[in-house]
Amino acid sequence: MNKYLKLNPEIVDALKNNKPVVALESTIISHGMPYPENVQTALECERIIREVGCIPATIAILNGELVVGLSVEEIDELGRKGAKVIKTSRRDLPYIVAQKKDGATTVSATMIIAHSAGIKFFATGGIGGVHRGAESSFDISADLEELAKTDVCVICAGAKAILDLEKTLEYLETKGVPVIGYQTNYFPAFYTRKSPYELTLRADSPKEIASLVKVKEELGLQGGTVVANPIPNQYSMNEKLMNEAIDKAVEEMEKLGIKGKETTPYLLQSVKEITQGQSLKANIQLVYNNCLLAAQIAKEYVELKK
């Protein structure tokens, strides 16, 4: 895989000198948010990570190269092209690379690339999960399988409320993926702070999480970890309103016959329209909050390894 990796010099230096690095995905830029908010958000994420003293590494595939640490221009181009760039999960990776195409990486593909570059922490909005109605559609995000096997710690606001959160947690439990509530006992529901589903693991400081990640490595346990970080109170949306919006979006989607990889981008966009842009504002803020926590954890981890 290293043959296809292209790390920017700052990241090479950071990894060589054990400086903390935080990976960022690119599907959230191309498919998760509209232009120009997507680009502004991506750049602000990088700024937040730097402010804590870490190096951000936004990841995407450009001309078939696995780029770790996009430039501002590359982020802007990805944001402008939007859904014209191919949403790339694990299964799509060899195709995009072989055909020298551009790919926006999902959580699963970003984890793979981050791991092969030697990056241990990755901030995003929400992980993919088990979709509602998965018992008949079989739609389960590749993100979950990736978490089962690739050793990267993913800091997120839970799974998007458009999913079946209870089944998502069951799946992660079966696969042995630790899901750590950050200052909470409940799995966060992305746009809202709390779902009804209880978590068994809780941490109250970045240091506790860093030490769990370190111990997991020392135990030789393969696979990732999920840090579930609730959206800050002041940006949390009304639960009833949100659920109504999601139900409506899911119903519309079924009528339109949208399936597969189009599902998540469609639902995010549709919920945004139904909530008149409120959900996008919340989405942006929860991503910032995850970047901040990811950077704090990455920093603690480097300290623990000294």
Residue 270 found at the interface with ligand PSU (CB under 6 A): no
143 binding Mn ion? (CB under 5 A) = no
Alpha helices, DSSP H, located in the chain:
9-16, 27, 37-52, 72-81, 93-98, 107-117, 134-137, 142-149, 165-174, 206-218, 239-256, 263-274, 278-305
| Out of 25, 46, 102, 139, the residue judged to bind Mn ion by CB under 5 A | 139
- Beta-bridge mates of residue 180: 201, 227
String of contacts with ligand PSU for each residue 72-91, x by CB under 6 A: --------------------
Give yes or no for residue 141 binding ligand PSU (CB under 6 A).
yes
CA distances from 120 to 98, 169, 208, 299 (A): 26, 22, 16, 11
Beta pairing, strands 55-62 & 201-203: unpaired
C-beta of 189 vs 302, nearer to ligand PSU:
189
Residues with catalytic roles? 25, 160
Which 3-42 positions form the footprint of ligand PSU (CB under 6 A)? Answer: 25, 27-28, 31-32
Chain-centroid distance of CA 149 in Å reads: 16
Q: Select the residue interacting with ligand PSU from 21, 107, 292, 302 (CB under 6 A).
A: 107
Q: Is 272 in the site for ligand PSU (CB under 6 A)?
A: no
Contacts of 118 (CB under 8 A, 6+ apart): 15
Residues that bind ligand PSU (CB under 6 A): 25, 27-28, 31-32, 106-107, 124-126, 128, 141-143, 261, 263-264, 268, 283
Residues that bind Mn ion (CB under 5 A): 139
